[in-house]
Amino acid sequence: MAHAQQYILDIQPYPLTLNLEQTALIVIDMQNDFCTEGGFADLMGYDVRYTQKPIQPLQKLLQVLRQTPITIIHTREGHRPDLTDCPAHKLERSKRKGAEIGSEGVMGRILTRSSKSHDFVEELYPLAGEIVLDKPGKGGFEGTDLDIILRNRGIKHLLFAGVTTECCVHTTLRVASDLGYECILLEDCCASLDLEFHTVSVRIVEAIFGWVCDSNTLLSCLQLFSSVA
């Protein structure tokens, strides 16, 4: 290792060296709308127990990473109250699935900014100083200043967590890969509303777009070479 903040991860498909000051964790869309009963996903008939699974490993991971130089970013998918940034086809699809974007739910307006429905789950709420990025679509780069933030901080390595693996996580990771970032998917800190989608998405990342490991592997590496954990 070159210095105390650099770590070699023995992960798939081959080992990767991380400099913590050049690394960011992106926690994607851990929101009530996707992870809580009464939210968008639940109203469409999905089992949100699947998307709740990353909460516990992410809590453990954040507890450690918040003591390191790693940048922590949280994203939320949702729309302006007037829905002018919501594509017509997306709005129509939500109507047909029984969870119309912008309609009133048990936690306020569905997938609409400033509502509890749109907000983060309580267990993973951002701390002061952590970056919160609101996005209108699936990907974290489209319509946001994410790339500018990362480049201004000299970030080269991205750790990906959140929901759903095949949709918002994958979309953001694929673009990040094309932009030149080294992307690591934290398998146990991601989830899908369809287990098969998650499994296939993980395989695709490892085969084409980046690296795959779990949070325990990352934490073990930090504990082995540092006193932060």
Catalytic center residues = 29, 135, 168
Q: Is the dihedral of CA 120, 138, 185, 182 positive or negative?
A: negative
Closest C-alpha to 181, from 217, 219, 209, 162 = 209
Closest C-alpha to 190, from 145, 225, 160 = 160
Which single residue is written with the structure tokens 């779990």?
214
Structure-token pair, residue 211? 């690296």
DSSP 112: B
Residues 6+ away with beta carbon under 8 Å from 190: 54, 160, 161, 162, 163, 164, 165, 169, 198, 202
The values of phi and psi at residue 201, to 5°, are -65, -40
| Length of the chain as a residue count | 229
Residue 74 forms beta bridges with which residues?
27, 132
Structure-token pair, residue 165? 């693996």
HEC string of 118-136 equals: CCECHHHCCCCCCEEEEEC
